[in-house]
């Protein structure tokens, strides 16, 4: 039996205790109050990043205001072609990215990319919960749609028995799949009893493509492919209109808000208030961003929406915990008996009036637990050695330098 005490223990987005301790094994056993705890500490549930590309972590500082398509052509495609030739780079990139996420309080991550069997190894070694899918597309790094689909199905069969890992199918985006191919991914996911991870309405071009290619609105597309009828992670959703939002209301879909990458790629501003008011579940995702920090996503979203009355701090905390965990199927995202012991002890080091806002000013994490296992101690990840992390950095950044030297970015 383990125990962690804190000045404030945040049980849920609307409830916290002062001077409390949480006892746990793999799951939370109980919470006791008035035990005394160190001033300036906060214990919270772990965060979830419900949309992430771990393999693109080395490109995180390349989001320089280019439009999405130009950024993908200039930076992403060359790197992804290299990943297909050197699959261990996906493992090394995932190690570095997950380490960054862990020390930012993230304990569950949905990743969509390539070489996910290698990525799964990084999740297991670091002890992070993962929701994995392959970025299925009919061009780019794959010779055919079928190649990506079969790779994802093989991943489902290989990873299905892990306690930490779940899988779903990654229908990358309607612009990289034909209409029939996209529908086949959704239908296959339904038959397998799993979910779908996709990008929808990230940029206006997504809507223009549906209209020009198929004469469809976004709402008609969602209806035709059956996206609202499966457990779906819908990344971005910036250009969702009221008809599309209505299709997602009371569905199994979760819209994943990624404000930092959306800002740096000039994608637009997500209709958060409309989504939340309509009853659509909204989680947070780090996507590809300079910091891979969910707290940074909260800060950026607050800057974008709070002054307009679109969002409250508690709603964003709920997106980072409750909505993210429920979307990934890892629990309710709260600290309560029998819930998974995915816990984060934060050092604030200053007087605290509001523990939720205190996290935005936290010095960092002291301890992180996933399923009761300590995966961060004194701010340092415990699952792999420093030597392994140094090797990962050498491999990733060595290949990145070689690629940059041999590629003309115009």
* pLDDT tens digits for range 243-256: 999 999 878 899 99
Nearest CA-CA partner of 199 in 223, 218, 224, 180? 218
Give the three-state DSSP class for 112.
Answer: strand
Quick: pLDDT tens for 170-227: 999 999 999 999 999 999 999 999 999 999 999 999 999 999 999 999 999 999 999 9
- Write out the chain's pLDDT in tens, 410 residues: 999 999 999 999 989 999 999 999 999 999 999 776 788 899 999 999 999 999 999 999 888 778 999 999 999 999 999 999 999 999 999 999 999 999 999 999 999 999 999 999 999 999 999 999 999 999 878 889 999 999 999 999 999 767 899 999 999 999 999 999 999 999 999 999 999 999 999 999 999 999 999 999 999 999 999 999 999 999 999 999 999 999 998 788 999 999 999 999 999 999 999 999 999 999 999 999 998 999 999 999 998 887 777 788 899 999 999 999 999 999 999 999 999 999 999 999 877 888 998 898 888 999 999 999 999 999 999 999 999 999 999 999 999 888 776 554 33
Q: What is the CA radius of gyration of the chain?
A: 20
Contacts of 247 (CB under 8 A, 6+ apart): 219, 222, 223, 228
User: Is the distance from CB of 249 to CB of 48 less than 8 angstroms?
Assistant: no
Cα atoms in the 13 Å half-sphere on the side-chain side of 206: 25
> What are the structural domains of the chain?
2-45+342-378 (2.30.40.10), 47-328 (3.20.20.140)
CA–CA gap between residue 47 and residue 109 (Å, rounded):
9
CA–CA gap between residue 107 and residue 342 (Å, rounded):
7
CA-CA-CA-CA torsion sign (266, 81, 86, 91):
positive
pTM over 0.85: yes
């Amino acid at each position: 039996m383990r125990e962690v005490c804190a000045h404030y223990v945040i049980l849920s987005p609307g409830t916290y205790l002062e001077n409390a301790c949480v006892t746990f094994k793999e799951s939370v056993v109980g919470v006791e109050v008035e035990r005394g705890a160190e001033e300036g500490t906060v214990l919270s549930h772990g965060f979830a990043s419900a949309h992430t590309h771990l393999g693109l972590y080395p490109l995180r500082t390349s989001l320089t205001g280019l439009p999405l398509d130009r950024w993908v052509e200039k930076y992403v495609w060359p790197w992804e072609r290299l990943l297909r030739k050197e699959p261990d780079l996906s493992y090394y990139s995932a190690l570095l990215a997950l380490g960054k996420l862990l020390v930012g309080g993230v304990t569950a991550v949905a990743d969509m990319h390539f070489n996910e069997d290698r990525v799964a190894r990084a999740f297991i070694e670091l002890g992070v919960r993962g929701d994995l899918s392959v970025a299925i597309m009919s061009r780019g790094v794959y010779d055919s749609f079928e190649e990506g689909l079969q790779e994802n199905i093989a991943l489902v069969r290989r990873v299905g028995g892990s306690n930490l890992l779940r899988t779903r199918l990654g229908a990358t985006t309607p612009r990289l799949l034909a209409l029939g191919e996209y529908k086949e991914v959704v239908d296959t996911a339904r038959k397998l009893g799993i979910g779908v991870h996709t990008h929808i309405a990230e940029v206006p071009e997504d809507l223009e493509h549906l209209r020009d290619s198929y004469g469809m609105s976004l709402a008609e597309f969602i209806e035709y492919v059956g996206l609202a009828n499966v457990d779906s992670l819908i990344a971005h959703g910036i250009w969702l209109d009221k008809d599309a939002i209505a299709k997602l209301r009371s569905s199994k879909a979760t819209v994943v808000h990624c404000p930092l990458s959306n800002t740096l790629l000039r994608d637009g501003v997500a209709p958060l208030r409309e989504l939340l008011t309509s009853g659509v579940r909204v989680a947070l995702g780090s996507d590809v961003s300079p910091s891979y920090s969910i707290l940074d996503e909260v800060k950026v979203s607050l800057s974008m929406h709070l002054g307009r009355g679109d969002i409250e701090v508690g709603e964003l905390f709920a997106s980072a915990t409750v909505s993210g965990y429920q979307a990934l199927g890892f629990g309710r995202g709260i600290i309560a008996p029998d819930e998974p012991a995915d816990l984060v002890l934060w050092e604030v080091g200053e007087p605290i009036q509001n523990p939720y806002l205190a996290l935005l000013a936290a010095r960092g994490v002291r301890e992180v637990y996933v399923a009761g296992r300590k995966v961060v101690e004194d701010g340092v990840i415990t699952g792999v050695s420093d030597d392994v992390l140094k090797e990962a950095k050498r491999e990733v950044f060595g290949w990145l330098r070689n690629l940059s030297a041999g590629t003309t970015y115009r």
